[in-house]
Amino acid sequence: MIETRTEKKQAFQAYLDEFEAFAKRAPGADTPWMKQLRQEAFARFWELGFPTLRDEDWRFTSLAPLSARTFRLASGVKGYHALTGNGTAPVAIDLATIHRRTPAGVGARVVFVNGRYAPELSKVDHSDVGRGTVPSPHKPPQASSEAQKVVVMSLAEAIAAGHPLVQQHLAKHEDYRSDAFTALNTAFVEDGAFIHVKRGAVVEAPIYVLYVSVGNAEALMAHPRNLIVAEEQSQATVVEDYVSLPVGQQDGSDTPPHTRLEAGATLFFSNVVTEVVAGQDALLSHYMIEREDESAINVSTLHLQQARNANVDSHSVLIGGGLVRNNVHPVLTGEGADCLINGLFVANGRQHMDNYMKVEHAAPHCNSRQFYNGILDGQSRGVFHGRIIVHKDAQKTDAKQTNRNLLLSDGAQIDTKPQLEIYADDVKCTHGATIGQMDEEALFYMRSRGIAEQEARRLMLFAFASECLDRMKPGPVRSWLEESVGGWLPGGTQAAATE
């Protein structure tokens, strides 16, 4: 990818223009530390520029679709009116549209449309949730109601209200100085979910965070930023779900994303950063569901900061998006921390899905287990890059990594790369990757029992995908995924049944 200085300057000028306009109206624009953070982050983005194929961490993923375009900040477009070819038209997103996408059994729901909090589409029942009222840190804790257990609110409101945890944690864990996307996101920190699970709180119902990207005549970008603070001994489940609502399809019909790729589709670029701070003995499950259409570019970075004995599950289910980069970055800083990094990616057409794991063991006696399954059809391309870093003092580390891939067509491609950097001497690290086709013997076996070929293929794909779902804790999110995944797989039309 050769990029002249002028081109770079032009592309970056657009980011600078957007940034200057944004910095004036941003939440916390007058708060000195926020202002400084955004400016430093933008300067860092300007210096770094987007990575190229020469960058070892981006060897298999070209960012040409990104660097060739300029993007308007979606939240700068008034309301969620979308610009159509004929000018501005309001986009009707009603609750029914949202309900169709929401898994049954979730608790609080926070909805963002084009990067902005949409309170009328959200459902946060607690008195101190979503209204910008910040509980005083000096108030004595009362463990009686949900309201005291967890705060779920818009980050913009938490910033505006000067929530102390925001200053304490925002941009303190995932380093924007070393990554252009994190720098860009940090420069444009505006909104997202702020979730504070208090000490000892057990939040049963999953907290659902929905990002809706609405198509537009011009390319748009959003930089969702989530901050999840799970205090000591707390328990919670958080789901981030990314969906598209293209212009002209506001009825919200759930066409499988693979069928939607059209030439000249508008682009929506989401650049997400989620920082999770898991306190001692906290138990947290995080789900990242990417099911935007193929005009979406979705780069997400999940940082998991884990204290002593914190137990965090990260589950990624990627079935949509044209160009997807899924960064998962657990940092095990306390002894006995445990992390499960589980993922399923299903690509078809010309989709490109890049999974970049960077698992840092920074304390002794920590476990990490990575399992990623990829299903690739059409001309799609998948990447799994599993990096494990065991720091000097992280003795007795037990790190495991498995990446299994199914290629369903001659045109599909997968690059899988383990990378172990071990600076301690008493550790156990294993890794393995497989790439294969559908097992023809097993197919014949099933057909010889009367199961039609297409059904046999569907069952086998479902079984392969289920390996990932089986690692999720039983509950509403897993049930919803089990019901939905059949329809997301190549050749799948309806939800598959399981015993």
Partner 1 sequence: MSTPILEIRNLHAAVEGHEILKGIDLVVRPGEIHGIMGPNGSGKSTLAQVLARREAFEVTQGEIIFDGKNLLELKPEEVAAEGLFMAFQYPVEVPGINNAYFIRSAVNALRKYRGEDEMDAMDFLPAFKEKMKALDVDERFLNRAVNEGFSGGEKKRNEILQMAMLEPKLAILDETDSGLDIDALKVVAQGVNAMRSPERSFVVVTHYQRLLNYIVPDYVHVLAGGRIVRSGGKELALELEEKGYGWVEEEAAQMAR
Residue 222 sits at φ, ψ, to 5 deg, of -140, 150
Q: Which of 460, 475, 479, 483 binds partner 1 (CB under 8 A)?
A: 460
Using the rule CB under 8 A, is 441 a contact of partner 1?
A: yes
CB of 340 to partner 1, least distance (A): 19
One of 253, 448, 474, 494 touching partner 1 (CB under 8 A): 448
Q: Which stretch binds partner 1 (CB under 8 A): 93-101, 112-120, 382-390, 454-462?
A: 454-462
Interacting span for partner 1 (CB under 8 A) from 214-222, 224-232, 418-426, 462-470 = 462-470
Tell whether residue 424 is a contact of partner 1 (CB under 8 A): no
323 in Cβ contact with 294 (< 8 Å): no
Q: Is beta strand 109-113 parallel, antiparallel or unpaired with respect to 116-117?
A: antiparallel
CB of 315 to partner 1, least distance (A): 18
Instruction: Please identify, among the stretches 213-221, 347-355, 376-384, 452-460, the one whose residues bind partner 1 according to the rule CB under 8 A.
Output: 452-460
Contact 160, 27 (CB under 8 A): yes
Cβ(260)–Cβ(246) below 8 Å: yes
Listed ranges 11-19, 116-124, 138-146, 460-468: which one lies at the site for partner 1 (CB under 8 A): 460-468
CB of 458 to partner 1, least distance (A): 10
Work out which of 33, 145, 444, 473 binds partner 1, going by CB under 8 A.
Answer: 444
Binder among 466, 482, 490, 492 for partner 1 (CB under 8 A): 466
Q: Do the Cβ atoms of 63 and 50 come closer than 8 Å?
A: yes
Q: Which of these, 178, 131, 132, lies nearest to 28 by C-alpha position?
A: 132
Region near partner 1 per CB under 8 A, out of 144-152, 221-229, 271-279, 446-454 = 446-454
H-assigned helices in 382-499? 440-447, 453-469, 476-488
CA–chain centroid gap for 65, Å, is 20
User: Which residue in this structure is represented by tokens 């898994």?
Assistant: 103
Among 17, 426, 453, 491, binds partner 1 (CB under 8 A): 453
Question: 99 in the Ramachandran plot: left (φ > 0), alpha (ψ -120 to 50) or beta?
Answer: alpha
Nearer to partner 1 (CB atom), residue 425 or residue 499: 499
Among 302, 446, 472, 485, binds partner 1 (CB under 8 A): 446
**Look-up of token digits 């050769």:** 2
Could you say whether residue 481 binds partner 1 (CB under 8 A)?
A: no
Q: Considering the complex, state which of residue 186 and residue 466 has its C-beta at the smaller distance from partner 1.
A: 466
**Which residues 89-128 are close enough to bind partner 1 by CB under 8 A?**
none
Residue whose C-alpha is closest to residue 150's, from 194, 185, 110: 194
* Torsion over CA: 351, 178, 9, 13 (sign): positive
The residue among 352, 235, 251, 242 whose CA lies nearest residue 283 is 235
Reduced to 3 states, what is the DSSP secondary structure of residue 401? strand
Binding site for partner 1 (CB under 8 A): 439, 441-442, 444-453, 455-456, 459-460, 462-464, 466-467, 498-499
